[in-house]
A and B are shown apart, each in its own frame.
Chain A
Amino acid sequence: MNLLINGQERVIENAKTLADVVSHFGLSERIIVIEHNLNIVARELYAETPLTEGDKIEIVHFVGGGC
């Protein structure tokens, strides 16, 4: 499956849902938020969010920042 993840083209074999992407990168325990084709997906819906070729995925997290 060809996906555009955080702006990078990636091939993830046998990825069927967003949950497969999360486990591919080992992110199950991490505090992250995912946007799938510009829609935010709740964590509990990762396994029910099917992927198609060329989907755009943003995986974001909290980093240090302030003013």
Chain B
Amino acid sequence: MTDTLKIGNYEFKSRLLLGTGKFSDLDVQQQAVDASGTEVLTFAIRRLNIDNPDNPNFLERLDLKSFTLLPNTAGAQTAEEAVRIARLAKASGLCDMIKVEVIGDMRTLMPDPIGTLKATEILVKEGFTVLPYTTDDPLLARHLWEAGAAAIMPLASPIGSGLGILNPHYISFIIEESPVPVIIDAGIGSPKDVAEAMEMGADGVLLNTAVAGAKDPVLMAEAMKLAVEAGRKGFLAGRIQKKRYANASSPMEMMIE
């Protein structure tokens, strides 16, 4: 039995999605992408610098047959702005997946729930495969998958904070209930956070800063890959119940006297 991640019409062997921001160097980035084993890369859409259009661009180095692109609507603060960016991304002809990101507060970069839902509704109707970036609110998550989101992407903690999963309890409600994949997005800091998310039953994780900002991004990318696999297998294997006191592993009978 192969254990794959299915998002809309897409199917992936890897459960690690990787952002492409904040890498200091394109060669390091390429090695980190390879080490992570990811099949999905996120990008942002921005104006081209028309005075210097030949600036090195990571996308144009990639073998696009090997990856699925997940452009985001980062920078949007309203549903309308997110829809505009999503349409531009799709017009590239490279992808129909979109990570809806409608930021409601510039200090915390928390998503605006109303704008996120509105953009999701519009883009689903237009035929996009929509992955909304959302808070850890189980009811908002429900509205999003009812609106046709192909996956739900609750934040672990604020973007780039590395604080790990602040509200595992609410995220577990989302995972329990969601008929579509739940991908933990934003705030993950270390392989331990990744393993925690996967052990909880998350279907995948989206990382960027935790890899790009590590002292050795390539080694961290590999560590994250292993953490995803370890956490996933741990979840499938089913962990033991926690007990308050000890429970000996060695027989208590036939003791030597």
Binding site for B on A (CB under 8 A): 5-8, 10, 25-27, 30-33, 35, 40, 42-43, 58-67
Contacts and interface: CB of A to CB of B under 8 A. Distances in A.
Interface in B2-18: 18
Contacts of A40: 87-88, 91
Interface string B82-116: 00000111011110000000000000000000000
A60 B88 contact: yes
B133 A59 contact: no
Chain B binding surface, main DSSP class: mixed
B159 interface: yes
B53 interface: yes
Interface residues of B, number: 42
Contact of A67 (B54, B93, B206): B206
A8 B47 CA distance: 11
Interface of B: 18-23, 29, 42-48, 50, 53-54, 57-60, 69, 71-72, 74, 87-89, 91-94, 133, 159-160, 185-186, 206-209, 212
Given A6-B47, A6-B50, A27-B48, A67 B159 contact: yes
B21, B50, B58, B159: residue with the most chain A Cβ atoms closer than 10 Å: B50
Nearest to B153: A67
B201 to A, nearest CB: 20
Contacts of A64: 19-23, 29, 43-44, 58
Contacts, number: 107
A21 B93 CA distance: 21
A65 B88 contact: no
Contacts of A27: 48, 53
A7 B54 CA distance: 19
Contact of A62 (B53, B71, B87): B71
Given A25-B50, A30-B53, A30-B60, 20 more contacts: A6-B48, A25-B53, A42-B91, A60-B46, A60-B48, A61-B48, A62-B57, A62-B71, A63-B57, A64-B20, A64-B44, A65-B19, A65-B42, A65-B43, A66-B19, A67-B19, A67-B42, A67-B185, A67-B206, A67-B208
